[in-house]
């Protein structure tokens, strides 16, 4: 709980030791059998004469909300998560560091890929490389071979890698609580002419979205969130491919957080960090997605992921 004057961390006795150790700038208060979480909230509210208590709608379960709101009549629904929409430089640097670890892990895993490996084995290899650096995964990696890549959120399984299949890898690193997210698609063996065309179209559609943002910023205009995916999607459908059904998204402490990109007319502003991730999915054949993270800083679009994007055949 953050007030104008103080910041409190209310936790069970089980976690108060860790809370004091890792959150030195917070006053740690223990909730337990004697005094419940909402009892403590109420005391602070009375003591500091708080008029409105905002909550994070997106991070509170209904059970927890019921317990608080029964006891604390000042409770109001606020989407406090919007406070996180703008990142400061330290935060952007941490996301950048997560991206850097991801870039290195991706280049290492590429060297380990062999015929007959399963999707799960590649995912585990990638996880192992990341965790050996001391970082964590920000989500369970998606590894999809050939036709499996046509399912945008394929459930990584036990299929074995065959010659001349596309390989889609979507993964993220969590470094000091901040998340990265990146997707690359490459070909194990040779890509056919039509597969190369799919790849190039996705890459170019991402480039169109990037250029839109850059042009707006250069002309002192604010890029509009909803245009980012729309421009990429139009490029894909204009080339005769089906539209992708997923969206670019903000990222930070969580893999998906504000800003909303697909459905919002809000402008993209300095301090925002988000993905741009077009894709083409051809059912029962193949799929290609290319996803990178970007920050806007000093009215410039700064790429945070740097893994190569030219078509790779290994």
The binding site for a second copy (CB under 8 A) comprises 13-15, 17-18, 21-22, 32-33, 55, 57-63, 65-66, 77, 79, 124, 131, 151-155, 245-246, 263
Distance, CA of 172 to CA of 98 (rounded, Å): 8
165 closest CA partner among 123, 109, 104, 118: 118
Nearer to a second copy, 130 or 301 (CB): 130
**Residue 295 CB, nearest distance to a second copy (Å)?**
25
Question: How near is the Cβ of 70 to a second copy at its closest, in Å?
Answer: 12
**What is the smallest separation between the CB atom of 65 and a second copy, expressed in angstroms?**
5
Element (H, E) at 129: helix 119-132
Q: How far is the CB of 224 from a second copy (least distance, A)?
A: 17
Helix/strand/coil for 291: strand
User: In a 10 Å sphere around its CB, with 0-12 CB exposed, 13-18 middle and 19+ buried, how is residue 148 labelled?
Assistant: buried
Q: What backbone torsions phi and psi does residue 100 show, to the nearest 5 degrees?
A: -65, -45
Three-class SS state of 237:
helix
Q: Least separation, in Å, of the C-beta of 90 and a second copy? A: 22
Q: Nearest CA to 291 among 213, 205, 196?
A: 205
Instruction: Name the DSSP class of 164.
Output: T
By C-beta, is 99 or 123 nearer to a second copy? Answer: 123
Supply the angle between the helices 119-132 and 89-112 in degrees, to the nearest 10.
Answer: 130
Decide whether 27 or 64 has the Cβ nearer to a second copy: 64
For a second copy, which is the closer residue by CB, 22 or 300?
22
The Cα–Cα gap between 293 and 291 comes to: 7
Nearer to a second copy, 210 or 288 (CB): 288
51 vs 153, which CB is nearer to a second copy? Answer: 153
**Nearest distance in Å: CB 305, a second copy:** 21
């Amino acid at each position: 709980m953050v007030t104008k004057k103080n910041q409190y961390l209310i936790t069970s006795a089980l976690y108060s030791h860790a809370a004091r150790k890792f959150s030195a700038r917070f006053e740690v208060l223990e909730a337990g059998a004697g005094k419940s979480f909402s009892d403590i909230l109420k005391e602070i509210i009375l003591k500091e004469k708080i008029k409105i208590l905002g909550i994070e709608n997106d991070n509170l379960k209904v059970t927890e909300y019921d317990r608080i709101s029964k006891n604390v009549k000042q409770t109001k629904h606020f989407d406090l998560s919007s406070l996180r929409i703008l990142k400061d430089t330290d935060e952007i640097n941490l996301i950048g560091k997560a991206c850097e670890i991801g870039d290195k892990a991706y280049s290492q895993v590429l060297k380990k890929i062999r015929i007959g490996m399963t999707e799960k084995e590649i995912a585990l290899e990638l996880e192992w490389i990341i965790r050996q650096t001391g970082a964590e995964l920000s989500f369970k990696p998606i590894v999809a071979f050939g036709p499996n890549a046509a399912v945008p959120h394929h459930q990584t399984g036990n299929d074995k890698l065959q010659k001349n299949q596309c390989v889609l890898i979507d993964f993220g690193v969590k470094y000091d609580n901040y998340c990265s997210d990146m997707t690359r698609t490459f070909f194990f063996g040779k890509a056919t002419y039509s597969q190369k065309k799919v790849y190039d179209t996705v890459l170019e559609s991402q480039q169109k979205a990037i250029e839109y943002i850059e042009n707006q910023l250069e002309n002192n205009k604010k890029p509009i969130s909803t245009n980012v995916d729309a421009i990429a999607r139009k490029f894909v459908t204009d080339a005769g491919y089906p539209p992708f059904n997923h969206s670019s998204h903000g990222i930070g402490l969580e893999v998906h957080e504000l800003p909303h990109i697909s459905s919002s007319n809000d402008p993209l502003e300095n301090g925002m960090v988000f993905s741009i991730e077009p894709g083409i999915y051809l059912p029962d054949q193949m799929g290609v997605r290319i996803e990178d993270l970007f920050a806007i800083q000093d009215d410039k679009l700064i790429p945070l992921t740097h893994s190569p994007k030219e078509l790779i055949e290994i």
